[in-house]
Amino acid sequence: MGTVTTHVLDTALGRPAAGVPVRLEDSAGAEVGSGRTDVDGRVRDLGPKELSAGVYRLVFGTGEYLGPDAFFPEVTVCFRIADPVSHHHVPLLLSPFSYSTYRGS
């Protein structure tokens, strides 16, 4: 399993959000991995197997999922990796006018 994984849940519909593009960036904004959510709303292997300690961003292309009039066409979640050997699961709970996130397991 990769160091960083994610999933997107559509809380308005009560189901996984399939087809959402996700980009993993380092603190300088360089892409270090990318993927697209599968039918379960998950990106199981996002980026390299090991990342250095530091600050990273997950950029979710939510406009592709929510449509051209999406209030949130993109969601960026910034997080810190303190222990590079740990697995970091950063999910996104998404609805048309709100979102939330947490550190998963």
Query: Which residues line the annotated binding site for substrate?
Result: 7, 42, 102
Written as one string, the DSSP assignment of 8-76 is EEETTTTEE-TT-EEEEEETTS-EEEEEE--TTSEEEEES-S---SEEEEEEE-HHHHH-TT-S-S-EE
Query: Which residues line the annotated binding site?
Result: 7, 42, 102
Our measurement of the distance from residue 31's CA atom to the centroid of its chain's CA atoms, rounded to an integer in Å, reads: 13
Contact 31, 63 (CB under 8 A): no
